[in-house]
């Protein structure tokens, strides 16, 4: 199977992801842009949203719905979950096989 091409800044999905990052950065939560190793050597972009202090709830991998990404809606959920103590990993776009094993890499209890 050929490797997927990396996303570019001109990609509509990447534009939505960058808008999500901008929303989160102004929402009063700690957010980091991270890259998760994916299939075939492709890195998957994500926003890691951290609660204040120690995480006190299970981590969540949050994917957008079938209608595609909506930065304000997706960002509002990430903010609410982080304020409730969850670590939230918001993906740019991940095919289902790519999310296997992601939860085991989140920094819970560190």
Average pLDDT per consecutive 10 residues, the chain (110 residues; last block may be shorter): 45 77 88 83 85 90 76 88 93 56 55
pTM (whole model) above 0.75: no
Rounded CA separation 92/110 (Å)? 25
Contact 89, 60 (CB under 8 A): yes
pLDDT for the residue 32: 92
pLDDT for the residue 102: 56
Contact 92, 54 (CB under 8 A): no
pLDDT for the residue 96: 47
CA 5 from chain centre, in angstroms, equals 19
Domains present along the chain, CATH in parentheses: 12-97 (3.40.50.1820)
pLDDT for the residue 97: 46
Residue 91 CA: distances (Å) to CA of 1, 54, 98, 102: 23, 22, 11, 11
pLDDT for the residue 46: 87
pLDDT for the residue 51: 92
pLDDT for the residue 72: 82
Rounded CA separation 41/22 (Å)? 27
Number of residues written out for the chain: 110
pLDDT in tens, 61-87: 888 776 667 788 888 999 999 999 999
pLDDT for the residue 3: 40
């Amino acid at each position: 199977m050929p490797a997927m091409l990396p996303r570019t800044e001109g990609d509509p999905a990447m534009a939505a992801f960058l808008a999500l990052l901008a929303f989160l950065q102004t929402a009063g939560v700690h957010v980091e842009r991270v890259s998760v190793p994916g299939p075939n050597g492709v890195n998957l972009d994500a926003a890691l949203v951290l609660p204040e202090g120690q995480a006190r709830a299970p981590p969540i991998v949050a994917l957008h719905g079938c209608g595609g990404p909506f930065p304000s809606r997706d960002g509002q959920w990430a903010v609410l979950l982080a304020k409730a103590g969850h670590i939230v990993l918001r993906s740019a776009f991940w095919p289902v096989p790519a999310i296997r094993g992601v939860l085991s890499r989140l920094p819970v209890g560190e």
